[in-house]
Amino acid sequence: MEVSAANPLPVSMGGSVALGASDAQIGAVEIKDGTTDTRAAVDATYGVAVDIKRMPGIQAATGSLTNRSGTITAGGTSQVLMAANATRKYLFIQNVSVNDLWIDFGTAAIANQPSIKLVANAVYIQENSFVSTQAVNIIGATTAQAYTAKEG
């Protein structure tokens, strides 16, 4: 359905929220089940946060992680970090070495584009709406460069 002046987005104003003396409401986004308060929380330390556990119909994924951590076995040569996995729902890779690492999906990694560059301590995560099920390949310039990797 396309939202337009002739076909506006339906908005429900069922209920009200009392603001405290030090509260300021600029705007709010809420997913409602009719009774549960699911407004995003605003906090001075972390900014806007949405607790997906409180949202109706959304369940946090759970499961076990498989450790795929390791090191570069031959500097300058692409190697398989994770085999293709049709059931992968989560992917985590961190470069824990001093030099850059590069990753790619479904093809050999190269130390340039279109591979993805991970500088020292960088983290790459895929979760929620998209997780590649392809093999993950990695390359580093130096033998023994370390990485931490998990999939689930």
Are 146 and 71 found together in one domain?
yes
The reported pTM is 0.62
pLDDT at 128: 85
Are 42 and 86 found together in one domain?
no
DSSP character string of 81-111: EE---TT---EEEEE-SSS-EEEEESS---S
Are 54 and 100 found together in one domain?
no
Tokens (6 digits) for 147: 């990485």
pLDDT tens digits for range 57-91: 556 678 899 999 999 999 999 999 999 999 999 99
CATH number at residue 78: 2.60.120.10
Which residue in this structure is represented by tokens 């093999």?
135
10 prior amide bond cis, ω within 30? no
pLDDT at 16: 55
Are 45 and 90 found together in one domain?
no
Residue 134 CB neighbours (<10 A): 15
- Distance from C-alpha of 139 to C-alpha of 98, rounded to nearest angstrom: 14
